[in-house]
């Protein structure tokens, strides 16, 4: 399995130190700028090699940020057919991690006074007037609490007119705000309404405004032609090469494609956005507001959070099939808990051929990005990331060079 490693010092922008010539299984790794060993490579390598072997993953890009440094680990191939290796420029589909960008755009719109998340959905889309969604708030849509919108649209909802008809005919299963049912139609409609409030198509707002404001130069809704050579192929359950197909409200829910370098930058912005536009800083922080709890998991907008320190069992439960696929009664946080530092914030994302997991702890300045070209089981992602996180946060000094 091919494996490359890069370390960057954040204090020296855009300068990467390529660290080469080390063995996959074992030996010390020496950073080229200091001549001293770092153990972070061993921690990441141990966790990622195992998850790739057990789940037959062709390629992965992993990025780690610790106070003062970024580390990049590239494994395997972006395409089994061509043999093209994963590197920092490899573009992966991140599936539902895309929802965190939708959430950021929404709070940016609110911070600019364009909308209020307490507004009714029909304010921004009169077609919803008189429907069960007429008086549902944007926030209820964005936190999957609109009354039981399902995980996916029915197969027959495959264009705009059918989408309108679906929303107009939909009937809730639960009173609004009482249950969480993870739903693309719910947060997809949320993102669609945010874009309507801003007067531009969602894709244009992402690629023309939000991504550039965040400094993400290789993040896309539609991968441009000159970047297609960097776009990885995903692999289906039967190991066929695959990329995500277009669908209703796909951009708002699972449509982002990006690199490990861009995603770790986004993670750092979520932990410390002081270098960003002030309005965008406030918007990012607001996505960490906690609105209700399902067990030990607190639902933010896009992100899901846990009190830190936490244990693996709590993370696995919060990312379990029971929470992802079933309706769960919620316990409201009143008033909503504002952005906190001493929490673990995470989000999973999948398409048919890709699997991603993002986790970070603002109080520790530690963040992990894991992107693979296979939709491998979520528990395996959580376990691997937790193994890395706990090692980085241990008292062994792994977050510094000696």
Catalytic residues: 96, 182
What angle, 0 to 180 degrees and rounded to 10, lies between the N-to-C axes of helices 160-169 and 184-198?
A: 110
Length, in residues, of the chain: 402
C-alpha dihedral over 226, 194, 331, 385, to 10 degrees? 10
User: To 5 degrees, how large is the angle CA 218–CA 226–CA 248?
Assistant: 65
What are 74's strand-pairing partners?
Answer: 4, 61
What are 120's strand-pairing partners?
Answer: 137
Q: How far apart are CA 315 and CA 67, in angstroms?
A: 24
Which run of H or of E encompasses 328? strand 328-329
* Structure letter (DSSP) for residue 232: P
Q: How far is the CA of 140 from the CAs of 148, 180, 324, 351, in angstroms?
A: 11, 9, 17, 24
Q: Which residues contact 215 (CB under 8 A, 6 or more apart)?
A: 265
Instruction: Report whether 282 contacts 107 (CB < 8 A).
Output: yes
Instruction: Report whether 107 contacts 284 (CB < 8 A).
Output: yes
Q: How far is CA 130 from the centre of its chain?
A: 34
Q: How far is CA 343 from the centre of its chain?
A: 16
User: To 5 degrees, how large is the angle CA 198–CA 199–CA 202?
Assistant: 75
């Amino acid at each position: 399995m091919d494996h490359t490693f890069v370390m960057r010092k954040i204090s020296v922008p855009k300068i990467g130190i390529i660290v080469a010539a080390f063995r996959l299984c074992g030996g010390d790794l020496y950073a080229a700028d200091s001549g001293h060993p770092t153990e972070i490579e061993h921690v990441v390598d141990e966790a990622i090699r195992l998850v790739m072997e057990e789940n037959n993953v062709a390629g992965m890009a992993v990025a780690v940020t610790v106070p003062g440094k970024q580390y990049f680990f590239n494994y395997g191939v972006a395409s089994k057919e061509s043999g093209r290796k994963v590197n920092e420029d490899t573009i992966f589909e991140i599936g539902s991690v895309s929802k965190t960008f939708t959430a950021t755009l929404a709070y940016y719109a609110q911070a600019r006074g364009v909308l209020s998340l307490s507004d009714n959905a029909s304010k921004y889309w009169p077609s919803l007037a008189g429907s069960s969604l007429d008086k549902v708030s944007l926030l209820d849509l964005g936190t999957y609490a609109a009354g039981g919108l399902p995980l996916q649209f029915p197969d027959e909802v495959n264009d705009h007119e059918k989408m309108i008809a679906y929303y107009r005919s939909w009937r809730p299963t639960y009173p609004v705000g009482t249950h969480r049912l993870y739903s693309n139609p719910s947060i997809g409609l949320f993102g669609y309404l945010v874009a309507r409030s801003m007067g531009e198509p969602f894709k244009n707002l992402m690629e023309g405004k939000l991504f550039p404001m965040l400094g993400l130069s290789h993040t896309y809704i539609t991968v441009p032609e000159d970047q297609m050579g960097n776009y990885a192929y995903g692999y289906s359950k039967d190991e066929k090469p695959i990329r995500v197909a277009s669908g209703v409200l796909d951009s708002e829910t699972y449509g982002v494609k990006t690199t490990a370098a861009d995603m770790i930058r986004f993670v750092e912005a979520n932990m410390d956005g002081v270098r960003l536009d002030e309005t965008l800083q406030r918007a990012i922080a607001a996505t960490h507001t906690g609105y209700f709890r399902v067990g030990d998991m607190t639902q933010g907008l896009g992100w899901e959070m846990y009190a830190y320190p936490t244990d693996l069992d709590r993370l696995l439960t919060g990312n379990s099939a029971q929470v992802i696929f079933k309706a769960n009664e919620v316990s409201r946080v009143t008033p909503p808990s504002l952005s906190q530092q001493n929490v673990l914030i995470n989000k999973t994302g999948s398409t048919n051929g890709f699997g991603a997991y993002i986790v970070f702890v603002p109080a520790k300045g530690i963040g992990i990005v894991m992107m693979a070209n296979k939709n491998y089981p979520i528990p395996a992602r959580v376990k691997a990331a937790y193994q890395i996180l706990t090692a980085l946060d241990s008292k062994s000094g792994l977050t510094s060079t000696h």
